[in-house]
């Protein structure tokens, strides 16, 4: 199987085939996701929440994204790797935005970048596209706007904001994005947007009628025990498994039962006897 490209995304929408996407931030996770045949890996700036332990994504830097995207691209042979542009990496000037997007492609090996925002980002998106870098949009509950939204809230629930989301989606598609994430949007609105735009919509908390779905891998694997958003389905429950394994290790080390003979290297007794 060859690398999934933006053309495959387009084809899948035309054929009505769902697009699969998951986040990853490291080499072994990228390898598993790739092996499972997922279409695309997003190196999300959710890195800040699920890997680096921040409260939100705002502290994530370009260097963080380059570092983790490099690890993911080493593990992803077929999936298209999309790397997130972090907060402030595409807000200051077009030149800086293109340079930063270019780093994720040239230094880190991603095939595309994603950035948050609608009509207000069109000029920036066009500048990045001009440098031949595929761009994925992201509208709805955009986590980099957490302070402006006053929290992580579903977007587009009244007429005015729903209309604005439709205008944003159409503007992104017209600008030339190859796809767009719809996050935290009522399912019926996401369905309408999906029908209106020619490029695939990838939903997270946006219902089943998007052209594809994305989830944060730590959430869907059940790596945490605390609260997860309503839209998360835990397809695995790894936290108790990891906790049990770590506790067993601790107990065996303390009891002296690990390492056992099969975990040890041998040496001829005669050599040991000759040592002084």
Please give the positions annotated as active site.
Answer: 183
Choose the binding region for ligand KIV from 24-32, 40-48, 69-77, 252-260 (rule: CB under 6 A).
40-48
Q: Residue 269: how many CA atoms within 13 Å on its side-chain side?
A: 0
Count residues contacting ligand KIV (CB under 6 A)? 12
* Number of alpha helices (DSSP H) and beta strands (DSSP E) in the chain: 12, 8
Residue in this structure with the two tokens 């996050």, named with its chain if needed: 183
Using CB under 6 A as the binding rule, whether residue 23 contacts ligand KIV is answered as yes
Distance in Å, CB of 197 to ligand KIV, minimum: 17
Using CB under 6 A as the binding rule, whether residue 44 contacts ligand KIV is answered as yes
User: 197-235 burial, b if ≥16 CB within 10 A, otherwise e?
Assistant: bebbbbbbbbbeebbbbbbbbbbbbbbeeeeeeebbeee
- In the bound state with ligand KIV, the residue whose beta carbon lies nearer, of 12 and 243, is 12
Indicate which single residue of 20, 214, 219, 231 sits in contact with ligand KIV (rule: CB under 6 A).
214
Distance in Å, CB of 94 to ligand KIV, minimum: 22
Q: Are 78 and 2 in contact (CB under 8 A)?
A: yes
Which candidate, 4, 35, 6, places its Cα nearest to that of 177?
6
Which candidate, 78, 86, 69, 58, places its Cα nearest to that of 26?
69
Query: For 26-109, where are the E strands, in sequence order?
Result: 40-43, 80-84
- In the bound state with ligand KIV, the residue whose beta carbon lies nearer, of 44 and 156, is 44
Distance in Å, CB of 181 to ligand KIV, minimum: 5
Indicate which single residue of 112, 169, 181, 189 sits in contact with ligand KIV (rule: CB under 6 A).
181
Distance in Å, CB of 21 to ligand KIV, minimum: 8
Indicate which single residue of 81, 128, 172, 204 sits in contact with ligand KIV (rule: CB under 6 A).
204
Q: For residue 59, give the 3-state DSSP assignment.
A: coil
Choose the binding region for ligand KIV from 44-52, 164-172, 191-199, 259-267 (rule: CB under 6 A).
44-52
Distance in Å, CB of 267 to ligand KIV, minimum: 50
Cβ of 144: how many Cβ atoms within 10 Å?
23
CA 23/CA 26 separation, integer angstroms: 10
Distance in Å, CB of 142 to ligand KIV, minimum: 8
For residue 21, what is the enclosing H or E element?
strand 19-23
Using CB under 6 A as the binding rule, whether residue 183 contacts ligand KIV is answered as yes
Positive/negative CA dihedral, 100, 105, 110, 116: positive
Choose the binding region for ligand KIV from 29-37, 43-51, 193-201, 219-227 (rule: CB under 6 A).
43-51
Using CB under 6 A as the binding rule, whether residue 40 contacts ligand KIV is answered as no
Using CB under 6 A as the binding rule, whether residue 216 contacts ligand KIV is answered as yes
Q: Are 121 and 94 in contact (CB under 8 A)?
A: no
Choose the binding region for ligand KIV from 37-45, 95-103, 145-153, 168-176 (rule: CB under 6 A).
37-45
The residue ranges that bind ligand KIV (CB under 6 A) are: 23, 42, 44-46, 84, 138, 181, 183, 204, 214, 216
């Amino acid at each position: 199987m060859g690398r999934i490209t933006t053309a495959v995304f387009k084809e899948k929408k035309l054929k009505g085939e769902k697009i699969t996407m998951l986040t990853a931030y490291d080499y072994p996770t990228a390898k598993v996701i790739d092996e499972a045949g997922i279409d695309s890996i997003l190196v999300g700036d959710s890195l800040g929440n699920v890997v680096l332990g921040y409260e939100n994504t705002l502290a994530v830097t370009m260097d963080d994204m380059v570092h983790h995207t490099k690890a993911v691209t080493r593990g992803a042979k077929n999936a298209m790797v999309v790397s997130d542009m972090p907060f402030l990496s595409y807000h200051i000037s077009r030149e800086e935005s293109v340079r930063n997007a270019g780093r994720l492609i040239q230094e880190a090996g991603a095939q595309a970048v994603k950035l948050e925002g609608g009509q207000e980002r069109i000029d920036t998106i066009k500048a990045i596209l001009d440098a031949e870098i595929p761009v994925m949009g992201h509208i709805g509950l955009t986590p980099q706007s957490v302070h402006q939204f006053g929290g992580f809230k579903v977007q587009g629930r009244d007429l005015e904001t729903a209309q604005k989301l439709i205008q944003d989606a159409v503007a992104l598609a017209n600008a030339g994005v190859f796809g767009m994430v719809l996050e935290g949007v009522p399912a019926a609105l996401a369905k309408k947007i999906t029908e209106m735009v020619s490029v695939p919509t990838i939903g997270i908390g946006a219902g089943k009628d998007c052209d594809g779905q994305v989830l944060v891998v730590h959430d869907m694997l059940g790596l945490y025990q605390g609260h997860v958003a309503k839209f998360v389905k835990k397809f695995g429950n790894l936290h108790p498994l990891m906790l049990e394994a770590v506790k067993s290790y601790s107990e065996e080390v303390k009891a002296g039962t690990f390492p056992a003979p099969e975990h040890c290297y041998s040496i001829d007794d005669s050599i040991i006897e000759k040592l002084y």
